[in-house]
Amino acid sequence: MTTELEKRGKQEVETTAAEQLQPSGEAYSPDVDIYTSTDAAVFVVDMPGVGKGDVTIMVDETNSLVIRGKNSNNEPENAVVRQYEVGDYYRSFQLSDDYDKDKISAKLENGLLEVTVPMREEVKPKRIEIKA
């Protein structure tokens, strides 16, 4: 069952045709889980082989959240079984105007990147206290 909140969240962060998968050169599209709440959207991105200094996160002029990772994993070429290719990562998502692109935070742990994009203050739900 889809709640109203889920529908709204989906609309706001869904990747659309505008999503560019491979901008230039060799880059892989990493797997991403997306979460939303009334405060923020959280992107959890698989980036095995990427170290802390090798991630770039930016919001471009079209309001797209662009995530890049440079893979520092060095594997020889002569694999007898190869199920994954080693390469850099690229993924982008269209953000709505409700998100505050100046307050994006991120952490990277064991090859897993977590990017938090908060909602702008004026969009966040306000709790109104009832005075006596």
Partner 1 sequence: MMWDVDVWSEMDRLRKEMNNLFSDFGRSSGTRTYPLINVYDGKDAIIVTAELPGITKEKVHITYANGALTLAGRLEPQTSTKNLTMVRQERATGDFEKTVRIPTKIDQEKINASFSLGILTVTLPKSEEAKPKTISIEAK
Q: Which residues bind partner 1 (CB under 8 A)?
A: 3, 5-6, 9-10, 13-15, 21-22, 27-37, 42, 44, 46-51, 72-73, 75-76, 78-85, 109-112, 114
Nearest approach in angstroms of CB 18 to partner 1 is 15
Contacts for 64 with CB less than 8 Å, ≥ 6 apart: 18, 19, 20, 92, 93, 94, 95
Nearest approach in angstroms of CB 65 to partner 1 is 13
Q: First CA to last CA across the chain, in angstroms?
A: 39
Cβ proximity to partner 1, 56 vs 73, nearer residue? 73
Calpha distance 60→79 (Å, rounded): 38
Do 111 and 73 touch, CB atoms closer than 8 A? no
Nearest approach in angstroms of CB 24 to partner 1 is 14
Cβ proximity to partner 1, 76 vs 132, nearer residue? 76
Taking CA atoms, 29 is separated from 19, 52, 62, in Å, by 11, 19, 20
Type of residue found at 102: D
Cβ proximity to partner 1, 52 vs 131, nearer residue? 52
Cβ proximity to partner 1, 104 vs 130, nearer residue? 104
Nearest approach in angstroms of CB 4 to partner 1 is 11
